[in-house]
């Protein structure tokens, strides 16, 4: 869906433009074709959009189910990379970027020293927070939040490494739980990432509206 600001409506609308049927793993039992994961479908769809718009900046906003190293790595390796913003785990293993060492023998290192988890960063009293007012926050208007951010390398054993910008978001009113966001474009600011991610909620709103008014995904 295209998340488009509609001036006369005073809100963001999620406008569907590309859909794929993604059968469940159970559907493929006993069939010749293998099951395709949602992340594989996602890569195929984003790749199609990149082919349609080879030079335009693309930013994909998705939920935590798409915070998968392989998918993020593939999007970063495109000739014109696609930025992805997703909800991120607070306990993920993060590292410093690998330092280039001249004369080093063997395979070059992919990562540096281990960094504290985002849970520990959020709990550390020395962490510096910035107050921010977002225009759209899950149905609310002009919500005040606090953010802190940094860059790191996300890595798992046997998987590619992905440079990321992480953003921790906390609520000064202590209503919602402290959460983390991930962005594959290190040049985007933490403020922009925090402003863009809540717009994903409009996708959920669209699902609710088509169920209510069109009978989609109901017995009708």
Within 10 angstroms of residue 214's Cβ, the number of other Cβ atoms is 10
Q: pLDDT tens digits for 111-135?
A: 888 999 999 999 999 999 999 988 7
What is residue 102's predicted lDDT score, i.e. its pLDDT? Answer: 57
Give residue 220's pLDDT: 46
Distances (CA, A) of 105 to 10, 99, 114: 59, 14, 22
Return the domain boundaries, the chain.
Answer: 2-214
pLDDT at residue number 104: 59
- Taking residue 12's Cβ as centre, other Cβ atoms within 10 Å add up to 18
Query: Which stretches of the chain drop beneath a pLDDT of 50?
Result: 220
pLDDT of residue 2: 92
For residue 191, give the DSSP letter. H
């Amino acid at each position: 869906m295209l998340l488009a600001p509609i001036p006369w409506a005073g809100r963001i609308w999620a406008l569907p433009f590309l859909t794929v049927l993604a059968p469940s793993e159970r559907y493929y039992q006993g069939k010749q074709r293998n099951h395709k994961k949602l992340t594989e479908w996602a890569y195929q769809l984003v790749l199609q959009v990149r082919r349609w718009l080879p030079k335009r900046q693309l930013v994909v906003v998705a939920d935590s189910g798409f915070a998968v190293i392989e998918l993020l790595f593939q999007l970063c390796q495109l000739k014109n990379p696609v930025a992805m913003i997703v909800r991120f785990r607070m306990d993920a293993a993060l590292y410093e970027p690998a330092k280039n060492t001249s004369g080093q023998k063997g395979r070059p290192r992919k990562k540096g020293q281990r960094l504290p988890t985002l849970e520990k960063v959020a709990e550390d009293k020395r962490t510096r927070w910035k107050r921010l007012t977002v225009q759209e926050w899950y149905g609310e208007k002009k919500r005040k939040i606090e953010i802190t951010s940094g860059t790191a390398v996300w890595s798992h054993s046997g998987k590619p490494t992905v440079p990321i910008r992480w953003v921790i978001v906390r609520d000064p009113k202590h209503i919602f739980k402290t959460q983390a966001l991930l962005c594959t474009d290190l040049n985007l600011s933490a403020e922009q990432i925090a402003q863009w991610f809540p717009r994903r909620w409009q996708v959920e709103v669209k699902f609710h509206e088509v169920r209510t008014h069109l009978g989609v995904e109901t017995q009708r």
